Chain A
Amino acid sequence: MNAISKANLSVSRRALLQASGALIVTAALPAAAVEAAAQGAAAAVKPPLLPTELDSWVAVGRDGQVTAFFGKMDMGQGVDVAIAQIVAEELDVPATRVGVVMGDTARTCNQGGASGSTGVQEGGIALRNAAAEARRLLVEHAVQRLKVPADKLTVSDGVISVSGEPAKKVSYAQIIGGHYFDSKLDWNGKYGNPLVVSGQAKPKPHDQYKVIGKSEPRRDIAGKVFAKMDYVTDIKVPKMLHGRMIRPAVAGAVPVAVDEASIRNIKGARVVRKADFIGVVAEREWDAIRASQQLKVTWSDAKPPFPDQKDLYNHIRQAPVTKRAVEKENGNVDAVWTNAAKVIEAEYEWPFQSHASMGPGCAIVDARPDHATCWTGSQKPHFTAEGVAKILGLPLAKVHAIWIPGPGSYGRNDAGDTALDAAVLSQLTGRPVRVQGMRYEGHGWDPKGPASVHRARAALDAQGNVLAYEYVSKGFSRVDVNTNESDPRDTLAGMLLGAEIKPGYGFGVPAESYAFANKRLAWETIAPLLLKASPLRTAHMRDPVGPQIHFGSESFIDELAAATGADPVEFRLKHLQDPRDIAVVKAAAERAGWKPGPAGGVRRGGSGDIATGRGMAFVQRGKTVVAVVADVEVNKRTGDVQAPHFVVAHDCGVVINPETLRRVIEGNVVQGTSRALSEEVTFDHNNVTSVDWLGYQILDIKDAPQTVDIVLINRPEMMPLGAGEPSTRPIAAAIANAIYDATGVRIRRTPFTPDRVKAAMQA
């Protein structure tokens, strides 16, 4: 075992033993927490863990190392570094002095886990307020100790000294090192994303920032690059069994007979079955896999639940509406259509998409009669603990969930299902069980991003002014299953054990500030295709419904510009109202060297088979605003689309860490391009058929952009507004608009595969 794991062991074992008596053999937290622990920081919160205790948020070790206890998680985007910077800023210590503990339900309050780009935006508020309060208390103590008023004290590097008399000083470590603050915070009584705590202290004004705005390095890189960091897939627990689930070929079918003899030749392998839940376990992973492939199961004669895929969008159009919401409306939209000089209409279509994380979901659960421990890669471990508690029939206080970095997470993926699978297998076998899905489950049985149809129409007068604008999305709900696994009915295991499914109904509308005199933004949802454990159930996937909605809305804005002979940038600037929206569009156009003119004119180029063009798209997400200019090369012979260059102007309020933010935006642009050009879940009447990387294609490095030029608009006077997802949502529209500029052909269905683009050009 390497030094990192050893250091970590001392820390996590302590917390673990407190909570459950379980023993972890190998587990590594992100390096920051590990280093802090190794250097003697107080890395344990004061029990019981309550949001109202300052000690639940910040600790100072005997050596002055600070530990922040963060109830959200970093999924590899550097959120922990930003949190360390925010805490360091308030405490006047270097960011390297702050370790961040994440996602351990025994040591962090439930701040909602990774969720909706809120890691820094919302999660940082509690930490910032707590750190400010800790500094206030430390300075108050120094006033007594040094016998000078607070305004004569300065704090630097964790040392409080008398201004002009640097020898008169006391350090944080001397004041509090290794001890609890024993001080209260005000709490708004909420858990999850809205959790806010605050003390008497006011956070530092932005003009005094020293740490915020600096590109502090990521802390998980070396552990990953040198294979020193454990993933959840690497956790091993004594007496652990390996488990695999058995899924039906026809979605909705349930096991009616199991031939246990069919795996008798595999040593130690056995069937675990309860109601419709069926899995296998074995001492060794390969044996569990072989058993899962070899086991003969007779399935019920289920009616094939899915329509022909070619009829998917007609199904959406024709299906009864389960819920409709008009989220924004002004003027009288319905009065205008008959008097309009011209009505422009278009419909846009977006398929089901898969999280397709690099590794299928994985969890280890040790379920005992009176308590349980769960190691999970789920991005919401506090909710995982709730789900595990409910499915095992235990009080929540008796379940300890420990988040360990998983194999990729962009929302409510299969990690949540796997945790409850492992819990049931552990309870039924009386042994700790590790479950990792197989590839067909990672692609085929993860909750999906919903398919949808988006209807847009606008009425124009004779001069081309927009009289009315209406945009209605109709699709599968964004939440057939909830955004977390806290209720077993939202997991495959829960459904197979008979929990009644209650799909939520929600979608969304375009986020923008276009002013039209008569305007309506609405959505409609339809029922799931299968009200059972379904491989096409939907849940949140990076920027839930954002790429879908804004593919249509920002394509349609471009269509309106084209219909009125306007330049697409100019058209947007004419109608956008919010000054930050306007600023971000101008910034992108300026950096890109946008030549004004209608589509298909000055920006079109290319030679031979290749046509080139540029497209713009603009979006808000929460309070973050993003504008993108995409350059495309369309092969007129093959239909192949390349998107080699992007310019992204990005305003997410105050920038905490510019370099990390740039990489987050790059990742979003690439993932957004992948979803626009390649990604589509395929299915037949029985089941999902895109069950591997051949069936579900993502962007290959040969097709990855050459440049993503990023303009960061920093607004230090504002709060951080979220960056994990916003730059995903404009990408498909920017590419579609560029294809139109290059070819004059409007592509209204993603993904823009060569066949589809070629067919559209020939139509």
Chain B
Amino acid sequence: MARFKLNVNGREHTVTADPDMPLLYALRDNLGMNNPHFGCGLAQCGACTVHLDGEPARSCATPLSAVGDAKITTLAGLGTPEKPHPVQQAYVDEEVPQCGYCINGWIMTAAAFLKRTRNPSDEQIRDALSGLKCRCGTHLAILRAVKRAAKAMA
């Protein structure tokens, strides 16, 4: 067991846990946050995605010992109904999710991608999101939303 200082959505927390424990469980169990989600535990689906210093990371496969002093942002910290991130706003406008359990992966990955890529092509968007899973098949709505957000961020 070891003590870790975690900066999550701008707030400092201290967590005492096994250094090998994935960040996901520190966020969900130790800090009582209800997202991100457990999807696979294998970094294959994206349901657990958070930002570490603005870059998407799969929290189910990121041991606490590897987090260091990176600033952690979750979907709840990315934006709020009052101050939505453009990707969140586009998700609302396009009514993207069905079950929505995959949502952390897509929104957090798209937000980081659009920050560094202005006016992306359809192919660039698909490449950036490749590997993320959505079982309900909302892929077309996801693409519409990311394009909409890209316009808003251009």
Contacts and interface: CB of A to CB of B under 8 A. Distances in A.
Q: Which of B22, B38, B127, B130 has the most CB of A within 10 A?
A: B38
Interface string A568-586: 0000000000000000000
Interface stretch (B51-59, B84-92, B112-120): B84-92
A357 B135 contact: yes
A447 to B, nearest CB: 16
B66 interface: no
Range of interface residues on chain A?
A: 35 or more
Contacts of B41: 289, 438-439
Shortest Cβ-Cβ A-B pairs, 3 listed: A670-B137, A76-B98, A224-B100
Contacts of B135: 356-358, 408, 410, 671, 698
14 contacts: A76-B99, A221-B95, A225-B75, A226-B84, A227-B34, A227-B74, A228-B81, A289-B41, A359-B101, A663-B98, A663-B141, A670-B138, A674-B137, A692-B42
Interface in B68-102: 74-76, 79-81, 84, 88, 91-92, 95-102
Given A666-B138, A670-B137, A702-B127, A693 B45 contact: yes
A123 interface: no
Interface of A: 26, 75-77, 217-218, 220-222, 224-231, 233-234, 236, 284-286, 289, 356-360, 405-410, 436, 438-439, 442, 659-660, 663, 666-671, 674, 692-694, 698-702, 704-708
Given A230-B34, A702-B127, A286 B21 contact: yes
Nearest to A668: B137
Contact of B132 (A221, A228, A701): A701
Contacts, number: 174
Contact of A225 (B92, B137, B139): B92
Contacts of A360: 38
Contacts of A405: 99-100
Contacts of A663: 95, 98, 138, 141
A439 B138 CA distance: 21
Contacts of A700: 130-131
A266 to B, nearest CB: 10
A358 B130 contact: no
Given A284-B25, A407-B39, 13 more contacts: A76-B97, A224-B103, A225-B107, A285-B28, A406-B99, A406-B101, A407-B47, A660-B95, A693-B44, A699-B137, A700-B131, A701-B142, A702-B130
A698 B80 contact: no
Nearest to B100: A224
A472 B133 CA distance: 35
A407 B92 contact: no
A191 to B, nearest CB: 26
A663 B28 CA distance: 31
B143 interface: yes
B139 A670 contact: yes
B136 A671 contact: yes
B97 to A, nearest CB: 5
A698 B107 contact: no
B134 interface: yes
Contacts of A436: 38
A49 B88 CA distance: 40
B143 A358 contact: no
B126 A227 contact: no
A692 B43 CA distance: 11
A406 B99 CA distance: 7
A220 B100 contact: yes
Contacts of A439: 39-42, 44
A227 B36 CA distance: 8
A284 B76 CA distance: 23
